[in-house]
Chains A and B, each alone.
Chain A
Amino acid sequence: MREISLHLLDIAENSVAAQSHNIRIEAHENLQSDLLTVCVTDDGCGMDAKTAQQVLDPFYTTRTTRKVGLGIPLLKLAAEMSGGGLTLVTESGKGAKVEASFRHSHIDRMPLGDLAMTFLTLLVSYPHIHWVFVYQVTDRDGQSHEFNFDDVELKTILDDMSMTEPDILKFVRGMFEEGIEALAYQTVN
């Protein structure tokens, strides 16, 4: 994986496979504390303690039964290589929360990447899931800016209209790109 947002897409796929109804994805670039944290929280089937331990092992992948695969160890490695780490909090039947942190200024930290495309891909592909996407930037002075998207209102308006109708797609893509770019701008200043 070349971008943190690709890892987010991958981890979110696990949440979908775990029959989640609600999935929340957060990315927070904190320049004041020099941290980049990402988090995927779901209300899917979760894992028991033993499985939760096993999914951290890259060699745990029994394709027919796997809930997670190689994705979590890859993200864990990426986080640890840039002065951060990964935590997995889960309980059988009670969803899962995967959080990864990176030192923002670390030379080995991969770029956050195209977060808007990750969000769009998930929203369009799994319309039956309730998605919440949060992107937050805290600048060096400690001031926070946030892009917060909850799909409830959008889906109410769309009713049964498909999100892959060209005009709708253009609208949603524009909303994500503009909202995220406006904040990403803060990180380079």
Chain B
Amino acid sequence: MPAIKSLEELKRVREEALQKKQMKAAAGNVQVIVAMGTCGIAAGARDTMKSVLSFIETKNLSGVTVTQTGCIGMCEQEPILQVVIGEDAKVVYGKVNAEVAEQIMRQHVQNGMPVKDYVLSI
């Protein structure tokens, strides 16, 4: 791995990211949680995760925390994705494939409107 050179570059990337982050800090914190138990992974949760991360990257979306949870007992609804915005109640989505994940990122995470068709519970 060409580690040394690329990590030097990372320092620069970090500085730039820090400046951008400070500008967007007011947006309030957003948490996106992907369920990744064996059931979730088998149902395609990694593609869901990939879609979430790639949305953040391509739309330059700052201030989003992406985490995981295990099996939450609704295996038949996997892949499950949860969104928490600021102090709002957690919104749980079911059957979130890569396309649905992108829709949730655009409509809910970016614009604050839950994607009702896929909501399991609020």
Contact = CB atoms under 8 A, between A and B. Distances in A.
> Are A and B a genuine interacting pair, yes or no?
yes
Interface of A: 1, 6, 9-10, 13, 17, 63, 69-71, 74, 114, 117-118, 120-121, 124-126, 146-149, 153-154, 157-159, 161-162, 164-171, 173, 175, 179
A166 B60 contact: yes
Contact of A171 (B9, B50, B62, B67): B9
Given A6-B46, A157-B7, A166 B41 contact: no
B16 A157 contact: no
Given A117-B46, A154-B7, A171-B10, A69 B71 contact: yes
Interface residues of B, number: 38
Given A13-B70, A164-B65, A169 B53 contact: yes
Interface string B14-25: 101110110000
Given A63-B73, A153-B7, A147 B1 contact: yes
A9 B53 contact: no
Contacts of A157: 7, 10-11, 14
A118 to B, nearest CB: 7
Given A125-B36, A164-B53, A167-B13, 9 more contacts: A63-B71, A69-B37, A70-B38, A117-B46, A121-B46, A153-B3, A158-B10, A158-B14, A171-B13
Interface of B: 1, 3, 6-7, 9-11, 13-14, 16-18, 20-21, 34, 36-38, 41-42, 46, 49-50, 53, 56-57, 59-62, 64-68, 70-71, 73
**Can you list the 4 inter-chain pairs with the closest CB atoms, starting with the nearest?**
A125-B68, A167-B17, A165-B17, A71-B38
A159 B60 CA distance: 21
Contacts, number: 102
A70 B38 CA distance: 7
Contacts of A74: 38
Contacts of A168: 10, 13-14, 17
Given A162-B65, A175-B6, A169 B70 contact: no
